[in-house]
Amino acid sequence: MSTLDSGRGRLKGIVTLVILAAIAYFAVKTIPVYVQNYELADYIQNLAVQATVSRSAPEDIQRNIVDKAHSLDLPVSFDNVQVSSNMDGVKIHVDYTVPIDLKVYTLSLHFKPSAENRAL
């Protein structure tokens, strides 16, 4: 084996490690946000059912969602949450974007969890 082949093998190994490190970094930065969004979506679904039964005011539902989002470190404000509640049931729509700083690029992850529950 020549010195040139040995150098190419090392370069290939370094490039592979850099790519794997980049993938791991991307995963560490993005996967928690997806998990937090899933938790918020699950909370919204449960809240829609509870709000239909208890006839909660839209403002109370909105406040609960914003509080839950903040506890999950998600950038959700009252403007991001639309709630309609009437005798037919409850509809909840949340629309928000999470910026992810990847050092060389800022990735914007856009989420739109929603839930609907009809009264019996």
Domain limits for position 74: 3-118
Write down the pLDDT at residue 70. Answer: 98
Q: What is the pLDDT along the chain (120 residues), one digit of tens a residue?
A: 455 566 677 888 899 999 999 999 999 999 999 999 999 999 999 999 999 888 889 999 999 999 999 999 999 999 999 999 888 889 999 999 999 999 889 999 999 999 999 977
In the numeric block, the tokens 């509640």 are attached to 85
Write down the pLDDT at residue 84. Answer: 93
Write down the pLDDT at residue 86. Answer: 85
What is the rounded distance in angstroms from the CA atom of residue 118 to the CA atom of residue 84?
A: 12
Strands annotated E in 11-94: 81-86, 89-94
Contact yes or no for 56/85 (Cβ under 8 A):
yes
What pTM does this model have?
0.85
Report how many domains make up the chain.
Answer: 1
Neighbour-count burial of 15, counting CB atoms closer than 10 A to its CB (0-12 exposed, 13-18 middle, 19+ buried): exposed
Contact yes or no for 33/98 (Cβ under 8 A):
yes
Q: In sequence order, what are the residues at sequence separation of 6 or more whose Cβ sits closer than 8 angstroms to the Cβ of residue 2? A: none
